[in-house]
Amino acid sequence: MISETTVIDSINVLDDGQIQVRRANLVHRDGVEIAKSYHRHVVHPGANLADEDPRVRAIGLVVHTQAVISRYKTATNAP
């Protein structure tokens, strides 16, 4: 039997507060992994966390302080 699962397998926080998230898509046949692919995205300080994985949201709530958001927006000229 073939099954597919998706997991967040890596969450990294950069010095400027950006959160790098890697999602792994795993395909198994009879319990043996036969394929894997990755998707990565970045959550910038001040970004909406509502659609993120619960672990990413929890990290963002701690890391994305108002000071971090302000520094990031100043450094990147973001609105």
| Phi, psi (degrees; rounded to nearest 5) at 4 | -130, 135
Residue pLDDT, tens place only, 6-20 = 999 999 999 999 999
Instruction: State how far the alpha carbon of 68 is from the alpha carbons of 2, 15, 23, 47, 58, in Å.
Output: 44, 10, 25, 12, 16
Location of structure tokens 């395909």: 27
More confident call, 79 vs 45: 45
- Does pLDDT of 38 surpass 90? yes
Residue pLDDT, tens place only, 42-70 = 999 999 999 999 999 999 999 999 999 99
Q: What integer pLDDT is reported at residue 78 of this predicted model?
A: 73
- Does pLDDT of 79 surpass 80? no
Q: Which residue(s) pair with 25 in the sheet?
A: 6, 37
What 8-state DSSP symbol labels residue 44? Answer: -
State the pLDDT confidence band at 77, using cuts at 50, 70 and 90.
Answer: confident
